[in-house]
Structure 1
Amino acid sequence: MPEEPVPAPADPDARQRGRGALIGRVVLGVASVVAVYLLVQRVDFADLWQRLRDTDPVWLSVALLFSILPVVGSAAGFLAFSPGRIPFGQITLVQLATSFVNLITPASAGGLALNVRYLTRKDVPVAVAVAVVGLVQTMSVLVTAVAITLLLALSGRNMSDAPHVPWLAVAIVAGVVLAAALLLRFWPWGRALFVKHVVQPFREAGPELRHIVTSKKRLALAVVGHLAVTLGFVAVLAASLAAFDQSAPLILMAVVVIGGSAIAGTVPVPGGIGAAETALFLGLTAIQVDESAALSAALLFRVITFWIRVPIGWVALVVLRRQNAV
């Protein structure tokens, strides 16, 4: 009698991938519901529609066009420090997806985690992926600090006008780092895990990381990318003011954009909702912009640079999930 075929054993990796895909779809669905809820709760659509009706359609189109520049600049800045070959179009989708993720996480934590996740899906060790994202953020802070110093000097303002350092947040971060260092020093099992998952991957990827941070072309691309982000936001704010027949010196608007972003980043609320709009409004009124126009321009700026990106970011995240990129 012929023997019956023995069924092939189940592939544990395939089962794990299926479970991960199911969890990813559930998380994406929950995040979508939360995002819609926050959007409905936070935005006064009647007031927003009334203000948008008063805008100049030409300048509104210009603002929308300039809003592409920060996305491209952010992707270029990330690409500059990424190891290996990464498609520019795909990393641009990741930067768009961070707008949706940041809506449901405080202080852009979701966007940072998404970038780390993307690199790990490209077979980059977790420790190296975290280091790359850290390099991107460090370069962004350095470029922004130099830019705001030069802008304040050119505008004739005192350095006291610059955003103050959030010393409480710095102290909390320093305390966490110190506690982690003490834990690794006196806990053998934790030290072994640290060596296995952090030190060893860094040793293996050391030459590639050194090449990244010493490459003049990569550093130049990073600087240009981060400058493009800042200039794009300034251009959007200038066009938003022009849409309400208002204007201000570009240098002062750059200070408002950078300072407002720094202030909103220190407030632990999802997407900087409320804090960003308030910081922009106060900054514009401080440079002698009419209060009504300042409020309208601040809301229009946030709609173009954040709220419009939320549904686009959701679509980008869905596409990346289907590509198994995150």
Structure 2
Amino acid sequence: MSAATNVEAPKLEELRRVAPSSILIAGFTIFGMYLLIGQFANVQWSAMFNDAQWVWVPVVFALAWVPIGGIALSLLGSVSKPLPLRPVLMLEIGTKFTGLAGGGVTTFALLVRFFQKQGLKSAVAVTSSLLNSVASGFTEVVFLLVALFFGASSFSLSKGGSGGASGLSGKILLAALLLALLAAIVFTIPKLRHRISHFLIPQIRAARTNLAAVMRNPRKGIQMLVGNAIAQVFYALVLWAALHVYGESLGLMQLIVINTFASIIGGLAPVPGGIGVIEAGLIGGFTAAGIPDQQAIAATFTARMFTAYLPPVWGWLSINWLRHRDFV
């Protein structure tokens, strides 16, 4: 037809298959939203806001910045080469935008680009991420064990203002069990385990030089552990200040347990920024610790406002700052 009419044939649109990962992300996002929407029905927002102690909101805002410094310190400790402090801080702020916009893949790409601009190979980003993950996990486990040892385990699923905590906590527990089961299945299937090993082992070998240099330097290890400890403590303090906005309070150790629990659940769920899943974990933890439902929900969203919802705005500004100065 195109030859007869002497008209160029239109280019056919290429068909694209929906990736299983996209379906998984969409499914967990819907699940996270489902956990939250059911909690709004029992909240009297006007009464909550009228009784709120707004003087605590600036405290929440200020405390929410400190964990970024802790994570930046950990990043400095995970690389053998000295890095400039201010750009590293701006990089960590920038990850708040990439984490929401594209998830872990986009954040890792930003990290790789930053390292390349510093004269480091992309494999160093793999080592850095691996070391930070290990240090973060180790810190979480230590804090969790210390918190439970000092009596932060006094949680009751029957506590809560309207009796809805047990239902929500049950959903969170079910989600945790399903995620654990999924992880177990992945690592027990030889084909999947082989694929994961086939990807990870070459990356670890490629980054061996950086890994060895970091492991031989105790100062680097201390930087990673202290940085992650600062982040953990101040994330808990953000929750502490957010509870005070609505006239409630919990001990630091209890808040560390709640934050660690919510972070683990949010990290396992493939949802950008853990949106929806982390909120459900925090609400379930608060109500299990005796905070009334309405205050638990309001405090959760106040804390997340300054740690998840607004940070992508300054994250976008930070990325532009890095780009204009040729750091990424």
TM-score normalised according to structure 2 size: 0.72
State the partner residue of 1:113: 109
Partners of 1:71 and 1:96 within 8 A in 2: yes
State the partner residue of 1:76: 73
- The reply to whether residue 151 of structure 1 matches residue 147 of structure 2 is yes
Match of 1:63 among 41, 60, 68: 60
Question: Sequence identity, in percent?
Answer: 23
Partners of 2:79 and 2:124 within 8 A in 1: no
Q: Distance in 2 between matches of 1:227 and 1:277?
A: 22
State the partner residue of 1:295: 297
Question: How many residue pairs were aligned?
Answer: 268
- 1:4-43 equivalence runs, <5 A: none
Unaligned runs of 5+ in 2: 1-28, 38-42, 158-172
State the partner residue of 1:136: 132
Q: Distance in 2 between matches of 1:183 and 1:141?
A: 21
Q: Distance in 1 between matches of 2:55 and 2:253?
A: 23
Q: CA deviation at 1:306?
A: 1.1
Partners of 1:80 and 1:222 within 8 A in 2: yes
Partners of 1:120 and 1:129 within 8 A in 2: no
Q: CA deviation at 1:129?
A: 2.2
- The reply to whether residue 169 of structure 1 matches residue 192 of structure 2 is no
Aligned-pair Cα RMSD in Å:
3.2
- The reply to whether residue 257 of structure 1 matches residue 271 of structure 2 is no
State the partner residue of 1:232: 234
Q: Distance in 1 between matches of 2:187 and 2:115?
A: 25
Match of 1:212 among 202, 214, 229: 214
Partners of 2:44 and 2:294 within 8 A in 1: no
Q: Distance in 2 between matches of 1:114 and 1:176?
A: 27
Q: Alignment partner of 2:52: what SS?
A: coil
Q: CA deviation at 1:177?
A: 4.6
Match of 1:247 among 246, 249, 258: 249
Q: Alignment partner of 2:150: what SS?
A: helix
Q: Distance in 1 between matches of 2:65 and 2:250?
A: 22
Partners of 1:115 and 1:133 within 8 A in 2: no
Q: Distance in 1 between matches of 2:261 and 2:78?
A: 26
Q: CA deviation at 1:217?
A: 1.3
Deviations for 1:178-230, whole angstroms, at most 9, x for unmatched residues?
1365699xxxxxx9xx6xx875x54xx62x53231121211111111000001
Taking structure 1 as reference, are residues 154 and 90 closer, same or farther at Cα in structure 2, changes over 3 Å only?
same
Q: Distance in 2 between matches of 1:49 and 1:97?
A: 32
Taking structure 1 as reference, are residues 291 and 49 closer, same or farther at Cα in structure 2, changes over 3 Å only?
closer
Unaligned runs of 5+ in 1: 1-37, 185-190
Q: Alignment partner of 2:226: what SS?
A: helix
Q: Alignment partner of 1:123: what SS?
A: coil
Partners of 2:283 and 2:297 within 8 A in 1: yes
Counterpart AA for 2:223: L
State the partner residue of 2:194: 178
TM-score normalised according to structure 1 size: 0.73
* Higher RCO (Cα < 8 Å, 6 or more apart): 2
Taking structure 1 as reference, are residues 309 and 217 closer, same or farther at Cα in structure 2, changes over 3 Å only?
same
Q: Distance in 2 between matches of 1:300 and 1:225?
A: 24
Range with bigger deviation, 128-137 or 313-322: 128-137
Q: Distance in 1 between matches of 2:186 and 2:323?
A: 34
Partners of 2:70 and 2:231 within 8 A in 1: yes
Q: CA deviation at 1:267?
A: 1.3
